[in-house]
Structure 1
């Protein structure tokens, strides 16, 4: 699916953005990601009337898009077997610590309540966007759902915090990211069908996207695990395991 819609493959609003420097004309933007995804879903349903297994993945904003659209694709397509998810570097963290301001901003700008109300447990999602992780796990208990990203990501992490907190250094951004990561790990550790693969650092692309270009550099040596090995585990019938890398 074309990357990127400008609104993480979701959103249901028309918005006008003014240039803060008043140099350029206002930008009118259609946050139509949800309708676009529903059109894709309708086409897939027509093209593939029966799907033995479904695998949904994406990188960065596409990773977040894979998570927020999983429920709609999984429930509207005729998937006769198991579903799989690998969200690569688009985490939706719990809102309670540092991601709350970002969640509030996109909720308003993209009119997300009009989409969230279509999901089970709408009230819980209103309070904390991060519960979408466990909501999907509980809704589809036989599916296998995973996330991967780097602990030292300095791309998506900056997007998550820099516009909402003043004068952040690189170390500050990493500290906020690690706090939110610990909350997310706690969520995942509470479900047998959720797993994470979190390597520490890679030398290119600001440690952003574990599966981009190559798996090389995304190993977790202390667990003797590789990105490819984790993907194999995801598609196996063995119990899901999570992995955390260190410096």
Structure 2
């Protein structure tokens, strides 16, 4: 069923029975109660948003991105590497400037010019306000920047997702097809909480993960930083986000994911694929992503943070990022139900995220893939396995951005 026909059918249904369809095709806010454990980082209520359709019972859940924090300034949203929404999620968030300027994806935009099959599904948007990539379960006090005014940070990402999934099951029932997707921190969160959400919702049809620009790379506990550069980040977040504590996400995996190694956060990717062999798992990131890589290494390596110029900065950054990506891709390549899509570069947002705004500039032309959208639809439809990694030797730097993407880029530049 093409996009035009779906939209026409929806319009006719609305005209025919306006009272019956009240509440469809609009973003409705759900505020989770405090007893659920759900909370934003500042302790305010956690809110998420649901956009329902009467056309089917399929469900697309989008996890918002927006940095991460393990120090006071970042948890307050300060600086280039700060976490988003430090003051919580307002009830009108879906009409906010942050969302309106395109930091959402075609997967939850019914009128996006970038056609995807989920435009006719029920949609859920999970805002991000905890600084823990939707995964933490600990209240941590940070006073390293402002000792006289400590930040009490509720790293409640896991509770937020768990309570939202239960609300969806109680109010929408079992979905037919299920898609979990997210970008940046949401790419991590959609991966780390995939099993928890899937087990709660129990979809009757196909279930798919499309995790954008949030790779959990291998980093065995006790390994040397020169061998596994992400280990410094992983060791830090284990403590401040409570991942290893009772009720933490890692301890939850013991009875949920087969083959997960609690001493290696990056093992979750392969463990998920083995636990759910009938599901499809798609992972994507740009080779030259200088945003997620900065979060992974900049605060832990002085040759990056103190680099004298942009060239030295990128060299120091990519000397860690590219080996970690190589190991990550090698792990994923071992699984028959995992797809991998790594284009080289996009002249937008520091080559960070393939799925925000639209999919322009995401082709891997030498492989015959015209955009990430083709990759995504192939994964959801259970087409042939696709595993593509683009390096500088085969990259195409001439891919144009869409007119809308260029307009958004200009507006963001003007705003600041």
Instruction: Give the TM-score taking structure 2 as reference length.
Output: 0.57
Alignment of 1:25-174 (within 5 A): 25-96=149-220, 97-113=228-244, 114-120=248-254, 124-168=260-304, 169-174=313-318
Using the alignment, how far apart are the partners of 2:252 and 2:368 within structure 1?
41
Change in Cα spacing, 1:189 to 1:122, as seen in structure 2 (3 Å) is closer
Q: With a CA cutoff of 8 Å and minimum separation of 6, indicate the structure with the bigger relative contact order.
A: 1
1:188 pairs with 2:332: yes
Using the alignment, how far apart are the partners of 1:123 and 1:24 within structure 2?
45
1:178 is matched with 322
CA contact (8 A) 1:116 1:125 kept: no
2:141 is matched with 16
Report the CA distance between 1:239 and its aligned residue.
2.7
Using the alignment, how far apart are the partners of 1:238 and 1:206 within structure 2?
31
Report the CA distance between 1:32 and its aligned residue.
0.9
2:345 is matched with 201
From 197, 220, 234, the equivalent of 2:364 is 220
2:379 is matched with 234
Report the CA distance between 1:23 and its aligned residue.
6.6
In structure 1, the residue corresponding to 2:339 is in which secondary structure? strand
Report the CA distance between 1:24 and its aligned residue.
5.4
In structure 1, the residue corresponding to 2:281 is in which secondary structure? strand
CA contact (8 A) 1:41 1:76 kept: yes
Report the CA distance between 1:126 and its aligned residue.
2.0
Using the alignment, how far apart are the partners of 1:33 and 1:124 within structure 2?
20
Change in Cα spacing, 1:205 to 1:188, as seen in structure 2 (3 Å) is same
Report the CA distance between 1:176 and its aligned residue.
1.1
In structure 2, the residue corresponding to 1:119 is in which secondary structure? helix
CA contact (8 A) 1:4 1:62 kept: no
Using the alignment, how far apart are the partners of 1:80 and 1:207 within structure 2?
36
Aligned pairs, how many? 246
CA contact (8 A) 2:258 2:274 kept: no
2:6 is matched with none
Change in Cα spacing, 1:224 to 1:122, as seen in structure 2 (3 Å) is closer
Using the alignment, how far apart are the partners of 2:229 and 2:164 within structure 1?
33
Using the alignment, how far apart are the partners of 1:95 and 1:117 within structure 2?
18
Using the alignment, how far apart are the partners of 1:223 and 1:123 within structure 2?
33
- Could you report, residue by residue, the CA deviation over 1:32-89 in whole angstroms, capped at 9, with x for unpaired residues? 1111111101101112222111100011001101001101011111211221000010
In structure 2, the residue corresponding to 1:213 is in which secondary structure? coil
Structure number, greater radius of gyration: 2
Using the alignment, how far apart are the partners of 1:90 and 1:124 within structure 2?
18
Structure 2, unmatched stretches of 5+, are 1-125, 221-227, 305-312, 393-416
Using the alignment, how far apart are the partners of 1:4 and 1:200 within structure 2?
30
Please give the root-mean-square deviation of Cα atoms over the aligned residues, in Å.
1.6
In structure 1, the residue corresponding to 2:152 is in which secondary structure? strand
From 110, 130, 142, the equivalent of 1:5 is 130
Using the alignment, how far apart are the partners of 1:24 and 1:242 within structure 2?
51
Report the CA distance between 1:124 and its aligned residue.
4.6
Using the alignment, how far apart are the partners of 2:148 and 2:363 within structure 1?
45
> Which has the larger helix fraction?
1
Instruction: Give the TM-score taking structure 1 as reference length.
Output: 0.95
